[in-house]
Structure 1
Amino acid sequence: MSSVTDKLFADGRELKLSNRVGKGGEGEVFSLVDIPGHAVKRYFPQIAGDRESKIRAMVGSRVSASATTVAFPEQVVTDSRGKFVGFMMRLVDKHKEIHELQTPSSRQRHFPKADYRFLVRVALNVARVFAQVHSTGCVVGDINQRGILVSDSATVALIDADSFQFIHNGERHLCVVGVPEYTPPELQGKSLKDIVRTKDHDAFGLAVCIFQILCMDRHPFSGRFSAGDMPLEKAISEFRFVYSGRNTGMEPPPGSVKLSDFPPYVRMNFEEAFAPDHVGKRPNPEMWVKSLEELEQSLRPCSQNRLHHYSRLAKDCPWCRMEATYGRPLFVNPDIDPIIVGDSKVDTGKGWVIDVAALLAAVNNCTIPTAISIALPPIDHTLAPSTEAQQQRDGQWLSPLLRIAGLGIAGFGVFTLTLRHPVFLFSFGLIGLGLFLALKKGEEKGASLIARHIQTWSKIKTTVQTIQANAPLERARKLKSEATAAIEQYQALSKSYEKVRIEYNGKRQKEQLESYLSGFPLRRASIAKLRTSDFAALASYNFHTAFDVKTRNVQQVQGIGPVKEANLKAWVRGLEAKFQYNPNYTAEDQAKIRVKQAEIVTQQRGQDDKITSLIAQLQREVKSFEAWRTQNHPELVTLFRELSQLECDIVAAGGTVPVKGNITPHSFNASATSSYQSTPAWGGGATSTTIRPAKGVSSPCPICGSAMRLRTARRGRRPGSNFWGCTRYPTCRGTRPY
């Protein structure tokens, strides 16, 4: 049996081991002194025999040459007696396990400058690495967070490649293990020892991994079940994708992202990866590369927080929603000193400085009227009278003669009556009736022009009021309100910046305890009764560290009952018992203050950008409104053309144009109250005799403008009383009081 002190050889060359860089359930990994960038995985003696044939097959096929970002076996390693002990591979250094990135609290510790663009690039690189693995004919099989490593430059590498499923020359070397939260529904609860994995099985685990990276460590199948308990493994086996558009009976944890926050291809890939009707045809790594490139190109910075980036297709910032729910930042940038040195807008005592007075003046200079006056088209006095008006005018000068003739004929009719001559009596009667009807028709035409003028002016007033009520000022008022609120928010942030150091001094012990507990991630804890799926569920509800367990109720998480809660709390109490307060002001204290200040500066800069953008939009809206107010509105132009013709006709017919009331500016607090100032009269000018309505006829009908007659009510509330009724009754039912 070989011992750890035996000499090791690869291809006849003695290897000089350096530090141990890793240890797992199968063996240990050591870096090499004389071969930089490489390492040796040495299996435990009881494991080596079962792995030898697979490793020799991988090395013999030179699979490592096809995937440079995967730690595939490159050479077989033996002891001094030539016995197989392990293999040599590329050393993946300066990388961290991917959960250190996707968990917000760990990300701030291990990837402090990573923003969401970094996360999207990492997800993209994960898909590319899986595509490389599949191109070699291998299947990852055992997808888990410890096997995917990430660097500070967002490069991704896969380790534990010796566990991949590998088929060579017809010989199958299976992957016999797997983590439940990355295992597809069709394999849940089954023994994996004899199952041939497929690329489609990998496609499920890859989709889970990408979802966790993009969604702040949320697991796609962890949420609240509407009908009781739903363990994560069961939710996966029943295809209960929590964020799906289909009904799965599950609700996402509070403050989570939505599928609508992502571009269409990303949404479609998630739905298809986790849907029962896509087993066997799940999105492959190449499809994920395409959709994630689309997401990367669609990213935009948040106006509230410059560290937040999200798809421009989303309605709002999902990270602002999440931070509002949990009260802790998802992204921080502690690198504030270079900002202070290099940017004149930053003051060490106030943070990001802007000219508030100038910005408020710019907002207030955008005057939004409280009442709107509309530019009315002028009356066109150059129009020619209509035929109807000319006929009416001709009738005007004939009417006195017709009256005299009518009186003469009537007198002569009386004379003939005394002679009792029936022929004369009948003839003169007809002539008198004709003259009477001609006079009546002329009077009705005059009254009709007046009535139409009244109706047209009434339509103009109504139209003006409608235009005023629909004035495009709502957006301008909203923008002005938002700009003012953004300035107030900036001022509040400035006050918070000034208080950071004072407040920190008053709660240093609490801050130290928070920092201490935040340094113990749940995923690395060994707690009785808790499985890996429990930790995934906890992460989906934003429980990542001992501090989260201490400050929030873990029983809100599906599958965490009283027993598991008690074990979690006991773990936290054990950690608290070891905490020691340091009363001295440390470099860590200074760093924490800078982190908080940097967070506020980021928010201040976001408000600065937002204020500038809102003011620019407001100025454009006010300018646009003024152009709208002074334009010629087509409906008014048409009505004023009609009004102009009527006024020309009235003047041509010898009438007096009715006096038009004022149209007052429409106020947003009170509606306009335009009205006619006087009762119009129909006349022939200064020297003409005013023609009054015929006896028994009132002023024109308010509905159609026709003449009205005195009528007696036969029923209703006042039977027997008199009123004016339209002569066109029952076609028109216009009435006036008597």
Structure 2
Amino acid sequence: MGLTVVSGNGHTWRLTGQIGSGSEGFVYGVDDARPLVAKLVPDPPDPEAYRRRVAHLVRQRREPRTVRLLSGTPVRVAWPLVSVRTPDGTDAEPVDGYVMTDMRHAYQPFNHLLSTSARRAHLPRATWASGLRTALALARLLGELHAEGYVVGDLKPDNLWADESGRVAMADVDSWQFTDGRELFPGRMRTPGYTAPERIGAPAGTPPGTESDDFALAVLVHQLLMAGLNPFAGHPADGGDYLSYDDNVLHGRCRITDRTSVLLPRSVPPADLLPRRLTELFRTAFTKALRRPTAAEWAHALTAELAPGRLKVCAVNARHVHTVERPWCPWCDQAERGADSYPGHPREET
């Protein structure tokens, strides 16, 4: 007999099998005519607090601020629709969770945009312009969340979805930070490589601010425009041992702010492929904790880079799209060094 979950009003769903997992929970398919999945969290640090968090999110789905976020098709946020738990009376302890929209019906995992092989397999028409459009959609969505009082707190590829047209969606809403009345439900999750320096090593439970999301947004935009390269990737150039992304963050090892700080393979995309406007935003995001560009500022700059006349298509490979500020194709330069993030055939039609 398969796993089942029950809502507070007694409605039962049969789960069809595990389709994903994260740092705390597991996601299962749901046997339903609608595109639904269920997330179960078997061992939260405080089970009662987790149940209250999900219950408040379910209730907030009907509030104006959340209704605005959930408007449009396809839905951009996998919001908790109803709290569920596995039935009592079994050998195992009941497990709490919630049912949400299955984002697979409209999107693909965000990571598919960050890998050359995954792009070729799942998003074959994606170019650098696709990265710009996706970055813009992400910045706009994050800006809307912040305007409505939500903080993601653990913004990373594993919580994101995207499609070939540049649309973006978010999941794992149960880890967000939000208020309900006077009560704060703090965010507490963090992921190496996407954690702002002021949060690295901070005491557990320290509430994140929107500036921590702004740091993660800058990292993600960099990855979208640099073929998946994390801005804090690289071996320390001073001869020290590589320890982690977070260690590089804390020590300011970042090619875009200090080219002499890290050693990277020759095959990575060239640093000068970025437009000057975006380069300055990255430098500010990674060096000025008190004045990081906001999601709205990123949206404004990315919109400008997508304006007519700002993009150029390589004469050799139509998959090679780049800013007009670059006199020659950066992707052809990368290909000459042993890799091609956007491989295609000469004079391939777009």
TM band (smaller chain): 0.7 to 0.9
1:54 maps to 2:64: no
Matched residue, 1:211: 222
Q: Equivalent residue of 1:72, what SS? A: coil
With over 3 angstroms needed to count, the CA separation of the structure-2 counterparts of 1:258 and 1:322, relative to structure 1, is closer
Indicate if the aligned counterparts of 2:82 and 2:100 stay in contact, CA closer than 8 A.
Answer: yes
Q: Distance in 1 between matches of 2:95 and 2:267?
A: 52
Matched residue, 1:268: 280
Matched residue, 2:109: 97
Shift of 1:56: 1.3
With over 3 angstroms needed to count, the CA separation of the structure-2 counterparts of 1:181 and 1:7, relative to structure 1, is closer
1:290 maps to 2:295: no
Matched residue, 1:512: none
Indicate if the aligned counterparts of 2:236 and 2:253 stay in contact, CA closer than 8 A.
Answer: no
Q: Equivalent residue of 2:98, what SS? A: strand
1:228 maps to 2:239: yes
1:70 to 63, 70, 77: 77
Matched residue, 1:645: none
Deviations 1:458-481 (A, max 9, x none): xxxxxxxxxxxxxxxxxxxxxxxx
Q: Distance in 2 between matches of 1:178 and 1:249?
A: 25
With over 3 angstroms needed to count, the CA separation of the structure-2 counterparts of 1:296 and 1:163, relative to structure 1, is same
Matched residue, 1:730: none
Indicate if the aligned counterparts of 2:273 and 2:330 stay in contact, CA closer than 8 A.
Answer: yes
Q: State the AA in 2 paired with 1:285.
A: A
Compare the two structures and name the one with the higher strand fraction: 2
Shift of 1:66: 3.5
Q: Distance in 1 between matches of 2:227 and 2:19?
A: 28
Indicate if the aligned counterparts of 1:71 and 1:160 stay in contact, CA closer than 8 A.
Answer: yes
Indicate if the aligned counterparts of 2:232 and 2:248 stay in contact, CA closer than 8 A.
Answer: yes
Shift of 1:219: 1.6
Structure 1 range deviating more: 291-300 or 126-135: 126-135
1:198 maps to 2:209: yes
Indicate if the aligned counterparts of 2:2 and 2:15 stay in contact, CA closer than 8 A.
Answer: no
Deviations 1:544-587 (A, max 9, x none): xxxxxxxxxxxxxxxxxxxxxxxxxxxxxxxxxxxxxxxxxxxx
With over 3 angstroms needed to count, the CA separation of the structure-2 counterparts of 1:155 and 1:203, relative to structure 1, is same
With over 3 angstroms needed to count, the CA separation of the structure-2 counterparts of 1:31 and 1:186, relative to structure 1, is same
1:114 maps to 2:121: no
Q: State the AA in 2 paired with 1:101.
A: L
Structure 1 range deviating more: 309-318 or 124-133: 124-133
2:20 to 13, 19, 22: 22
Deviations 1:477-526 (A, max 9, x none): xxxxxxxxxxxxxxxxxxxxxxxxxxxxxxxxxxxxxxxxxxxxxxxxxx
1:170 to 171, 182, 185: 182
Q: Distance in 2 between matches of 1:142 and 1:46?
A: 16
1:123 maps to 2:155: no
Indicate if the aligned counterparts of 1:75 and 1:88 stay in contact, CA closer than 8 A.
Answer: yes
Deviations 1:375-415 (A, max 9, x none): xxxxxxxxxxxxxxxxxxxxxxxxxxxxxxxxxxxxxxxxx
Q: State the AA in 2 paired with 1:233.
A: D
Correspondence 1:578-727 to 2 at 5 A:
599-600=345-346, 602=348
Q: Equivalent residue of 2:52, what SS? A: helix
Correspondence 1:28-43 to 2 at 5 A:
28-43=26-41
Q: Equivalent residue of 1:181, what SS? A: coil
1:329 maps to 2:340: yes
Correspondence 1:342-421 to 2 at 5 A:
none
With over 3 angstroms needed to count, the CA separation of the structure-2 counterparts of 1:270 and 1:252, relative to structure 1, is farther
Q: Equivalent residue of 1:266, what SS? A: helix
Q: Equivalent residue of 2:198, what SS? A: helix
**Which entry has the higher C-alpha Rg, 1 or 2?**
1
Matched residue, 1:241: 254
Matched residue, 1:505: none
Q: Distance in 2 between matches of 1:4 and 1:53?
A: 27
Indicate if the aligned counterparts of 1:185 and 1:239 stay in contact, CA closer than 8 A.
Answer: no
With over 3 angstroms needed to count, the CA separation of the structure-2 counterparts of 1:61 and 1:215, relative to structure 1, is same
Shift of 1:320: 0.8
Shift of 1:19: 4.5
Deviations 1:186-245 (A, max 9, x none): 222334x2211000011111101110110011121223533212543222112233122x
Shift of 1:251: 5.3
> Where does the alignment leave 5 or more consecutive residues of structure 2 unmatched?
71-75
Shift of 1:264: 3.2
Indicate if the aligned counterparts of 2:178 and 2:186 stay in contact, CA closer than 8 A.
Answer: yes
Q: Distance in 1 between matches of 2:171 and 2:182?
A: 25
Q: Distance in 2 between matches of 1:29 and 1:226?
A: 41
Matched residue, 1:531: none
Structure 1 range deviating more: 113-122 or 199-208: 113-122
Indicate if the aligned counterparts of 1:66 and 1:136 stay in contact, CA closer than 8 A.
Answer: no
Q: Distance in 2 between matches of 1:217 and 1:190?
A: 27
Q: Distance in 2 between matches of 1:253 and 1:119?
A: 22
Indicate if the aligned counterparts of 1:31 and 1:39 stay in contact, CA closer than 8 A.
Answer: yes
With over 3 angstroms needed to count, the CA separation of the structure-2 counterparts of 1:34 and 1:110, relative to structure 1, is closer
Indicate if the aligned counterparts of 1:243 and 1:251 stay in contact, CA closer than 8 A.
Answer: no
Q: Distance in 2 between matches of 1:224 and 1:22?
A: 32
Q: State the AA in 2 paired with 1:31.
A: G
Indicate if the aligned counterparts of 1:319 and 1:330 stay in contact, CA closer than 8 A.
Answer: yes
Shift of 1:265: 2.5
Q: Distance in 1 between matches of 2:289 and 2:328?
A: 33
Deviations 1:660-710 (A, max 9, x none): xxxxxxxxxxxxxxxxxxxxxxxxxxxxxxxxxxxxxxxxxxxxxxxxxxx
Count of residues paired in the alignment? 332
Q: State the AA in 1 paired with 2:246.
A: E
1:319 maps to 2:315: no
Q: Distance in 1 between matches of 2:120 and 2:259?
A: 36
Q: Distance in 2 between matches of 1:261 and 1:330?
A: 13
Indicate if the aligned counterparts of 1:9 and 1:80 stay in contact, CA closer than 8 A.
Answer: no
What TM-score does the superposition give when structure 2 sets the normalisation length? 0.84
Indicate if the aligned counterparts of 1:27 and 1:44 stay in contact, CA closer than 8 A.
Answer: yes
Shift of 1:257: 4.2
Report sequence identity in percent. Answer: 24
Indicate if the aligned counterparts of 1:76 and 1:86 stay in contact, CA closer than 8 A.
Answer: yes
Q: Equivalent residue of 2:337, what SS? A: helix
Shift of 1:248: 6.0
Indicate if the aligned counterparts of 1:52 and 1:84 stay in contact, CA closer than 8 A.
Answer: no
Q: State the AA in 2 paired with 1:42.
A: L
With over 3 angstroms needed to count, the CA separation of the structure-2 counterparts of 1:60 and 1:84, relative to structure 1, is farther
Q: State the AA in 2 paired with 1:329.
A: D
Shift of 1:322: 0.7
1:280 maps to 2:282: no
Correspondence 1:438-517 to 2 at 5 A:
none
Structure 1 range deviating more: 278-287 or 27-36: 27-36
Matched residue, 1:510: none
Compare the two structures and name the one with the higher helix fraction: 1
Matched residue, 2:73: none
Q: Distance in 1 between matches of 2:16 and 2:148?
A: 31
With over 3 angstroms needed to count, the CA separation of the structure-2 counterparts of 1:5 and 1:33, relative to structure 1, is closer
